[in-house]
């Protein structure tokens, strides 16, 4: 049982929250890390195809561009789920919802592990998309309800995303070469089960926000500043995901001997980016701008170089730049709609998932017809536009 009495905490324009008491015996950092573990398991599964793409494509007898649609299918389901799940479950205990979503992800990964065709893989990945979008939509509000510390929760949940890039891409790439891509999905199923056990043990029951559902989403959609910001968030995410599913292909085109090392470097850069995003959240407008700027510069380098040293610098900077985006944008939407965090974050998640879906499709077409450099350069251009967008929008909370 939880003694957390507030329904949610408010978040100001600096990305900090009005304190909310923690559940008895639960340290805020431990709770936030438990949510981070769930995020890591889900996002790790989402991006496994980027690490095992050549083997998956060969086994399923499709092109690498078509195999990249396994990322797009997940994102499509996520885009449809994020803005609607609170309406479907307006009163459900958020602890139960989060645990159920992790269970759904386990089912998805097990089906992918035995799927005979690309069509079956895509169908299973739809289930994963539902799990990811729902988990992301509720994780911040759940974490803030229990801990009262928005910047901590946002940073650690996004830290799970960066950790997942280490699990989902470089480690899966190595494991896929050793044990096969299907076995990698069995491994992530086991990790997801462990993450669910941790959350089951540590999270108290968490009630839904008052008024959660269609009415709250309708009010949030009336916030023009938020809606414009969500479009900019889409651009920042699209810039990344036009290129990211094909990162292994891009590295191999320059120096195949450093694939595993540079995939790991991307993830480590991502950890740094997450921490930087949280540390700079006091200057939220400019922190949100910095991520796309760094990412765009990195993608230009990656799309134009043939030198391994420059390639390495570009990959690390890419990891830093993009992984500032989930932290800063989650705080950004929460700062603008501090009393409707669930719905505001749901729109952020929707923007990400639509961007992942459309980016993977557009990137796949470019990779198949023009090569990976074209995908990198398109990402750089859209990332630059996103940076201009964030710099142009003042972060002011909506009046209650």
User: Residue 23 domain-assigned?
Assistant: no
Does residue 370 sit in helix, strand or coil? coil
Residues 6 or more apart whose CB falls under 8 angstroms from that of 224 comprise none
The pLDDT tens digits along the chain (400 residues) read 333 333 344 444 444 444 444 444 457 788 888 888 898 899 889 888 878 888 898 899 888 778 878 877 888 888 888 777 777 777 788 889 999 999 999 999 999 999 999 999 999 999 999 999 889 878 877 887 777 777 777 778 777 877 776 666 778 888 888 999 999 999 999 999 999 998 888 888 888 665 556 667 777 777 788 889 899 999 999 999 999 888 888 898 899 888 888 988 888 888 888 888 878 878 888 999 999 999 999 999 999 998 999 999 999 999 999 989 988 888 888 888 777 777 788 888 888 888 888 888 898 889 888 989 999 999 999 999 999 999 998 877 654 4
Q: How far apart are CA 13 and CA 15, in angstroms?
A: 6
User: Residue 14 domain-assigned?
Assistant: no
CATH number of residue 112's parent domain:
1.20.1250.20
User: Residue 20 domain-assigned?
Assistant: no
> Which run of H or E residues covers position 99?
helix 94-114
User: Which structural domain, as residue segments, surrounds residue 328?
Assistant: 28-392
Residue 23 is predicted with a pLDDT of: 44
User: Residue 171 domain-assigned?
Assistant: yes
pTM for the full predicted model: 0.72
User: Residue 125 domain-assigned?
Assistant: yes
Domain count of the fold of the chain:
1
Q: Count CA atoms closer than 13 A to 276's CA, side-chain side.
A: 22
Q: Is 299 exposed, middle or buried (0-12, 13-18, 19+ CB in 10 A)?
A: buried
Q: How far apart are CA 244 and CA 62, in angstroms?
A: 19
User: Residue 117 domain-assigned?
Assistant: yes
């Amino acid at each position: 049982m939880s003694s957390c009495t507030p329904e949610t905490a408010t978040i100001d324009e600096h990305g900090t929250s009005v304190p909310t008491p923690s559940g008895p015996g639960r340290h805020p950092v431990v709770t936030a890390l438990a949510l981070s573990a769930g995020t890591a398991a889900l996002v790790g599964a989402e991006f496994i195809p980027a690490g095992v793409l050549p083997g998956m494509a060969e086994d399923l007898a499709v092109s690498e561009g078509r195999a990249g649609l396994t990322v797009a299918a997940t994102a499509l389901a996520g885009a449809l789920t994020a803005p609607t799940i609170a309406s479907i479950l307006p009163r459900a205990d958020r602890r139960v919802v989060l645990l159920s979503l992790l269970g759904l992800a386990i089912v998805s990964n097990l089906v992918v592990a035995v799927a005979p065709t690309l069509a079956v893989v895509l169908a299973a990945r739809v289930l994963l998309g539902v799990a990811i979008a729902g988990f992301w939509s509720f994780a911040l509000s759940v974490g803030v309800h229990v801990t009262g510390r928005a910047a901590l929760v946002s940073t650690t949940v996004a830290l799970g995303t960066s950790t997942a890039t280490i699990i989902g891409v470089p480690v899966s790439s190595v494991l896929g070469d050793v044990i096969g891509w299907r076995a990698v999905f069995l491994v992530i199923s086991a990790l997801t089960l462990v993450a669910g056990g941790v959350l089951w043990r540590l999270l108290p029951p968490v009630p839904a926000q008052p008024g959660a559902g269609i009415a709250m989403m309708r009010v949030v959609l009336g916030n023009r500043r938020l809606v414009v910001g969500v479009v900019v968030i889409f651009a920042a995410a699209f810039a990344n995901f036009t290129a990211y599913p094909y990162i292994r292909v891009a590295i191999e085109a320059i120096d195949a001997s450093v694939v595993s090392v540079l995939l790991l470097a991307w993830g480590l850069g991502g950890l740094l980016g997450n921490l930087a995003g949280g540390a700079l959240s006091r200057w939220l407008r400019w922190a949100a701008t910095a991520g796309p700027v760094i990412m765009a510069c990195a993608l230009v380098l990656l799309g134009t170089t043939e030198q391994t040293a420059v390639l390495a610098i570009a990959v690390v900077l890419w990891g830093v730049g993009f992984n500032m985006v989930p932290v800063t944008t989650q705080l950004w939407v929460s700062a603008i709609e501090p009393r409707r965090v669930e719905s505001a974050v749901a729109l952020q998640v929707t923007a990400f998932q639509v961007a992942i879906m459309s980016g993977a499709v557009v990137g796949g077409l470019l990779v198949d017809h023009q090569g990976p450099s074209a995908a990198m350069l398109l990402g750089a251009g859209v990332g630059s536009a996103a940076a201009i967008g964030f710099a142009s929008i003042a972060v002011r909370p909506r009046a209650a």
